[in-house]
Amino acid sequence: MEVTVITNIRRKVLTMVSKMAYDGNLPDHVYDVLQIVNENTPRTRCCVHKERAVLKERICVALGVNEDMNIIDAANKATTEPVDRTQHVIAVLPEACSACPVNKYMITDVCRRCLTHRCMNGCPKKAISVYQGRAHIDYDMCIECGNCKRACPYGAVVEIARPCENACKVHALHTGKNKKAEIDKNICVECGACRGACPFGAIEERSHIVQLIQAIKSGKEVVALLAPSFVGQFGLKVQPGQIVKACQELGFASVKEVALGADMTTISEAEELLEKVPTGKQKILTSSCCPAFVATVKRHAPELADCISDAVSPMVARSKLEKYAHPGALTCFIGPCIAKKVEAREHPDEIDFVLTFEELKCMMDSRGIDPAECEVAPFNPASSADGCSFPQAAGVSTAVKDYIRDNHPEVEVDSLKTLYCNGLDECLGALKDVEAGKLDLQYLEGMACQKGCLNGPGALTEPGLTRVLLKRFAGTTQADSAGKIEKAMDGVKHVDMERVYLRK
C-alpha cells in the first residue's frame, strides 16, 4: 500500500497505543501520544492546535471508541470494556475534514466567451448568467444536474467531486453539516475504499488493538488466524514460520491458517451450488466470502439477497473450527480487510477480534519485534493450494469448480456459468444486469477490492509481490483442491457452516 504522511501518523498512533496497552499505563500516558505533533515537527495543517485536535480524534478511533470522547475517558473505556460492536467501523474525523471543494461544477478559464451560451440556455434553474461575456454559476440556485458541463462545446465546465465520494461506489458519502463529509450508514458497505482516498486523512477505521492486548495480557487463550496473504506482508525474504514466531512473541497462544477455513467454505458453497441452482430451487448463487460484497447485495440489490450463499466465510469457518477444538479460546482474524470487522460485528459469538496486517505490524513495532530477525517456527500448511489462493482474482470460483470436478465427476464443470467481479463497480453492474434478466449466470463471485483481497486497505505490500509469494507458498500445500483436505472435509461435518445472521 502507499505510505503517505497520513499512513505514518496512523501507524505512530497505533504503535504508541499498543506499547502503552502492553506496558499497562495507557490511561495515564495517553496524552503522550499528542507529542507526535509539537512545535518542532513539520506542519501539515494550519497550526499545531489544529493538528492536535485531529490527533485526538485519531487516538479515539484507534482506541475503538467515539471520536468525540475525551482521550483519557476513551483510554479507560478501551482498557476495561470489550469491543463495542454497535459502532460503525468507518468513522469521519470532523476536525480533519475541512479542505475539499463543495461546488460540484465550476466554469474554468477555458471559457471562450462564446455567443450561443449553451451552458446558460440548458440550465433548468437559470443558475448560469453571463457577465462581460463570461459565464458564471450562482451556487445558491445550482442543483448540480450537469447540463452545463454536457452543453459546453469547449469543455470549460469541470465536475469536481470529493475524493471520498469518488471512491465510494455505493454513494454512501455526502456533504453534511458544516459542509463536512458524512456517511449514510444505511447504504455504506464499510469496504474502506474512502479511507485511502481521502487526501486529508479524515476517514479512519476503528481498531480492536487495545481490547485484543488486554485479552492477551489477562492470560486468555487467544488464537491468531492469519489470512492467506500473510505470506507476502513482511518482505520477500521473510518466511511464514518467522511471521508465526513473531505472532507468538506478541502473546498469541497459537497461530492458524484461515486458508483451511477457505477449504471448508469451498466445500459448503460448492455443495450448495449443486443443490440449489441446477435443480431450479434458486436461479443463481453468489459468493459469501467478502463481507462488503454481501452487504452490497443486501443493500443495493435486495431482490438477490436470498441468492447469497448460506456458507460462512473462511474467517468464520476457521474460527468456529478452532472454538470447536478448543472451547473457551478467543480468536483474532488478521488480514488485509477492514470489512471483516463488520463481519465480526455480525458474528459476535464466533469471532472475537479482527486486525489488519497494518495493525499487526504496529503491535510488532511496539514490542520491537521484526519478523525478518525471528527464528523460523515449525509451520506446515494445512490447507489446499486453492484455499491459499482465495484472495486472488477469481480464487473462490476456481476453488469451487476444482472441488466439483474432483468430487462430482457427473457434473460438467466447464458448462457452469460463472462470473468474477473485480471491485464494487463491476459487482454493482453485474447485480443490476442479473436483476434485469440481462445476465444469465449460475454463480457470481464478488470482491469489493480491485485485484481481490491482496489489495485490501489493510495490506502492507503491493498485490503483485504478495501474489508471487502466495503462489510459491501454495506450492508447498498438501493438495491442490479442498476435497482432498481431510481436516476440511471433517470440519464441515463438525461445525455449523450456515451464517448465523440469516436466522435473525
240 and 298 both lie in a single domain: yes
79 and 181 both lie in a single domain: yes
- CATH number, domain with residue 176: 3.30.70.20
Dist CA 248 CA 242 (whole Å): 10
Closest residue by Cα to residue 114 from 60, 152, 76? 152
Is 107 part of a structural domain of the chain?
yes
388 and 352 both lie in a single domain: yes
- CATH number, domain with residue 333: 3.40.950.10
Crossing angle of helices 314-325 and 486-494, rounded to 10°? 80
166 and 254 both lie in a single domain: no
186 and 301 both lie in a single domain: no
pLDDT of residue 99: 67
pLDDT grade for 503, boundaries at 50, 70 and 90 = very low
Is 499 part of a structural domain of the chain?
no
Here the cell at position 23 is: 506496558
Contacts of 465 (CB under 8 A, 6+ apart): 232, 236
165 and 256 both lie in a single domain: no
286 and 334 both lie in a single domain: yes
Here the cell at position 147 is: 447540463
56 and 141 both lie in a single domain: no
Is 213 part of a structural domain of the chain?
no
89 and 136 both lie in a single domain: no
Is 393 part of a structural domain of the chain?
yes
pLDDT > 70 fraction of the chain, expressed in percent and rounded: 99
326 and 407 both lie in a single domain: yes
| pLDDT tens by residue, 305-356 | 999 999 999 999 999 999 999 999 999 999 999 999 999 998 999 999 999 9
Instruction: Write down which residue in 115, 141, 157 finishes a domain.
Output: 157
pLDDT of residue 41: 86
229 and 276 both lie in a single domain: yes
**How many Cβ atoms are within 10 Å of 40's Cβ, its own excluded?**
6
Dist CA 71 CA 245 (whole Å): 33
| Count of domains for the chain | 3
Q: Which domain does 123 fall in, by range? A: 103-157
Is 504 part of a structural domain of the chain?
no
Is 462 part of a structural domain of the chain?
yes
Residue 129 in 3-state DSSP?
strand
Is 500 part of a structural domain of the chain?
no
174 and 243 both lie in a single domain: no
Does the pTM of the predicted model rise above 0.75? yes
DSSP character string of 431-465:
HHHHHTT----SEEEEESSTTGGGG-TT-SS-HHH
pLDDT grade for 2, boundaries at 50, 70 and 90 = confident
